């Protein structure tokens, strides 16, 4: 009977009390075949005892129906704003992180960017990633080898996948901003798939992409882009990103560079990979190739693809924040301007783009063979592509010395001190005396010689104790 009872929408009584009530009218209304009036008191008491015995084992609570999901829950606006994304935006507005949301200023294959204002009327940008409609599906190759994703990430739902992708861009932007050498937007806050950052632009107008910098009417009042200077800046930024930030953009082109105040601003670093990625060097060569291709269209004499690549990866060159690094880059650009661009350079770039380059010497199996062939003159050092990546000399005779200020000071000090060292070479050529030579026990030592040796050791230790500084004096000086 308990399983067949139902609760009316009127006055609610617990189901257990309804069963225990012998005068319940709803039983006679719905179950005419049961005549409870003929039951005697003993049967009712037996029924009551039976129900009391099992009342703790029967679940009389009302269970909600199974929640049904509809495609309306995944409906989006502008391909990015779904129900959860809008809830995050409204929550940020209630917290006064920003007070006003304006229109969309940029769309891409993975996210939309909206213009917002904070309570101080400062221009900010909100990047909302797509969760339901995701044209960008090949994300695994950009995550493989990333130490921050070494434990994997959930692919159960698109929301979890995209939220990890947003977190990856947030971390990359923080790492680039901390270098202080690359112009990029400042990340402010991340919540789910919503990333808040500063706006790259003026007076609420976003900066144009580098591909539109020469044709943008908003730039009439500004000076036209200085393409050679911009190329030098981008080349140096790629090396800074590799050497200081330990990242490779993996999608660098004129579409992911903004032009503002005469500088190129780097954006869209969600797919940036670390050095440990299996395809890191392939992504780097693609970035260098895209940069060279665009600036050659603007009439800039660019470096060859190999020169660009080796300039970025060579660890023996000056650090990006060293002034001598700019001097070295200026000499490379001067040689490129004197050489010019011809079909031979273009063919060499196309060939170098698809050459296999090991990331380190542990991946180079024929190293000894290559070294011997170079020494015998059977192999040209220009055919060795892994020398710059591994920091070796072009002829594989040894490691290149780091061209840093500390190394240069050490070299100068060593050069000036060569004469002094040569005069004192005879003095330091003798090995230092062994302090423990007297304490060693010779094999087959007689008792008399042992006593004599112990006596000499005690006298030596007594002489040392005469000039020993007490411990309390040492502690007193160390505290000062």
Using CB atoms within 10 A of its CB, is residue 478 exposed (0-12), middle (13-18) or buried (19+)? exposed
Residue in the block written with tokens 């330990």: 246
Report CA Rg, the chain.
Answer: 39
Q: Verify whether residue 342 is a known catalytic residue.
A: no
Residue 302 counted as an annotated binding residue? no
Residue 268 counted as an annotated binding residue? yes
Residue 198 counted as an annotated binding residue? yes
Sign for the CA dihedral angle at 303, 304, 308, 310 comes to negative
Query: What is the Cα–Cα distance from 308 to 287, expressed in whole angstroms?
Result: 10
Nearest CA among 76, 79, 16 for reference residue 50: 16
User: Can you read off the two tokens belonging to residue 252?
Assistant: 């660098």
Query: What is the Cα–Cα distance from 146 to 169, expressed in whole angstroms?
Result: 13
Nearest CA among 300, 221, 222, 217 for reference residue 254: 300
**Active-site pick, 82, 123, 237, 268:** 268
**Buried b / exposed e along 321-340 (16+ C-beta atoms within 10 A):** eeeebeeebeebbeebeeee
**Adjacent-strand bridge partners of 424:** none
**Adjacent-strand bridge partners of 247:** 274
- Of the chain, the end-to-end C-alpha distance in Å amounts to 90
In a 13 Å sphere around the CA of 1, the CA atoms on its Cβ side amount to 18
Query: H or E stretch including 125?
Result: strand 123-129
Q: Verify whether residue 251 is a known catalytic residue.
A: yes
Q: Is 282 helix (H, G, I), strand (E, B) or coil?
A: helix
Residue 127 counted as an annotated binding residue? yes
Query: What is the Cα–Cα distance from 216 to 228, expressed in whole angstroms?
Result: 19
**Adjacent-strand bridge partners of 273:** 248
Q: Is 15 helix (H, G, I), strand (E, B) or coil?
A: helix
Query: What is the Cα–Cα distance from 91 to 98, expressed in whole angstroms?
Result: 10
Task: Please state whether 191 falls in left (phi above 0), alpha (psi between -120 and 50) or beta.
Answer: beta
Annotated binding site for ATP: 127, 198
Annotated binding site for Mg(2+): 256, 268
Residues with catalytic function: 251, 268
Annotated binding site: 127, 198, 256, 268
């Amino acid at each position: 009977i308990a399983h067949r009872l139902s609760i009316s929408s009127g006055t609610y009584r617990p189901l257990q009390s309804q069963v225990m009530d012998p005068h319940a009218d709803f039983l006679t209304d719905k179950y005419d075949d049961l005549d409870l009036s003929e039951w005697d008191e003993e049967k009712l008491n037996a029924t009551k005892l039976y129900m009391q015995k099992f009342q703790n084992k029967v679940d009389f609570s009302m269970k909600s129906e199974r929640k049904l999901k509809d495609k309306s829950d995944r409906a989006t606006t502008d391909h990015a704003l779904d129900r959860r994304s809008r809830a995050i935006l409204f929550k940020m507005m209630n917290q006064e992180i920003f007070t006003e949301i304006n229109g969309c200023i940029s769309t891409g294959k993975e996210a939309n960017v909206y213009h917002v204002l904070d309570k101080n009327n400062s221009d900010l940008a909100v990047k909302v990633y797509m969760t339901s409609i995701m044209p960008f599906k090949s994300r695994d190759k950009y995550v493989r080898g990333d130490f921050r994703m070494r434990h994997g990430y959930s692919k159960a739902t698109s929301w979890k996948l995209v939220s990890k992708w947003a977190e990856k861009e947030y971390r990359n932007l923080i790492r680039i901003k901390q270098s202080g050498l690359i112009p990029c937007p400042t990340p402010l806050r991340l919540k789910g798939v919503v990333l808040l950052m500063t706006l790259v632009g003026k007076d609420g107008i976003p900066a144009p992409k580098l591909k539109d910098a020469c044709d943008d009417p908003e730039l009439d009042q500004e000076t036209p882009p200085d393409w050679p200077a911009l190329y030098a800046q981008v080349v140096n930024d790629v090396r800074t990103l590799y050497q200081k930030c330990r990242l490779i953009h993996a999608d660098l082109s004129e579409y992911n560079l903004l032009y503002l105040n005469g500088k190129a601003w780097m954006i869209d670093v969600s797919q940036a990979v670390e050095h440990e990625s299996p395809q890191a060097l392939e992504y780097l060569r693609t970035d260098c190739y895209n940069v060279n291709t665009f600036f050659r269209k603007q009439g800039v004499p660019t470096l060859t693809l190999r020169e660009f690549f080796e300039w970025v990866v060579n660890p023996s060159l000056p650090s990006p924040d060293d002034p001598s690094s700019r001097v070295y880059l200026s000499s490379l650009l001067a040689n490129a301007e004197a050489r010019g661009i011809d079909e031979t350079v273009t063919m060499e770039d196309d060939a170098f783009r698809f050459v296999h380059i090991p990331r380190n010497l542990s991946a180079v199996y024929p190293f000894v063979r290559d070294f011997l062939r170079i020494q015998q003159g059977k192999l040209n050092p220009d055919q060795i592509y892994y020398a710059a990546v591994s920091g070796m000399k072009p002829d594989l005779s040894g490691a290149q010395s780091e061209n840093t200020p500390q190394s240069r000071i050490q070299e100068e000090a060593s050069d000036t001190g060569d004469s002094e060292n040569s005069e004192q070479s005879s003095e330091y050529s003798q090995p230092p005396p062994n302090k423990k030579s007297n304490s060693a026990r010779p094999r087959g030592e007689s008792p008399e010689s042992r006593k004599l040796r112990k006596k000499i050791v005690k006298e030596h230790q007594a002489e040392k104790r005469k000039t020993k500084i007490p411990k309390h004096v040492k502690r007193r000086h160390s505290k000062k």
